[in-house]
Structure 1
Amino acid sequence: MKNVDHKKNGGLIKNWQAQDSGSSSVLTGTVVEDPAGRFEPGDRMRSSYIVSIDRVKGIIETTNSIYRVTHEIVIHKKGIYKFVRISDLHPDDQGDLRKFLRGRNAPLPPAEIAGNTAWPNDYRDFARGTDQNEGFF
């Protein structure tokens, strides 16, 4: 990491992803704690550009802050399927995602466990607190 003395403590973020934003990536995730007081626990956040990621230590440095992170959400791909593993989520959120997914279909790629996968768009809607199917029926 570069000289980080001037950067604020961004706190702890769970269920995080490094998402492409044009020529760089930004951190998105769910706030567990924010000592800077910008977010409440449970809020979704989006950071400034990522400077470095240390997955072993669970640290992400952005242009403005240093974040501790847990439970990276990866979009897996097997054959034609793109999916999220529910078991990748923080344990506190797995049941909520399963409840959110009730009545929806889910991918079942080879060698995956039934009930442990979700389509990336369904996970995105869950994480954002939106439901694209709401009012559809």
Structure 2
Amino acid sequence: MADTAIPARRTNWTAIYLTATAVLGAALGFLIWATPVTDEGAKDWFAPMIPGGWMAWTFPVALFFWTIASLLTLFTILAIRFPETPRHGILRIETTRGDRLFITLLGSAFICLGWLFFAGPPLWWALALCLVYAAAVFRWV
């Protein structure tokens, strides 16, 4: 009897990567374009993007949410392309890359809130501490 199995369709990962990069790059370009301009023609990075809006949509806030969306997109593509089995880390719970990303984002939020309470703005040193925390979570959790 002849083999009638349908061959598996090959996924074009290069096209997927380029499409995701183009979409996220276009979104970032839009955010930069939508940033208000001062009377002198320079970008005012901290001015409200929506004057009179209910939330302070400034460029840094929009960039923060763009970064979260980019990370979720990246981790979704990685989960599909390179499935992983959960592993046990220092917390003795099973975690995947997505779990570690969530733990990192949640912990980073608390680090920044604590920094604002004890030291106040700016948050540059808190960001550095969050990056060290993220490296530790992805290495040992």
The interval holding the TM-score normalised by the smaller chain is under 0.3
**Structure (1 or 2) with the larger CA radius of gyration:** 2
TM-score in terms of structure 2 length: 0.22
TM-score, L = length of structure 1: 0.23
More helix by share: 2
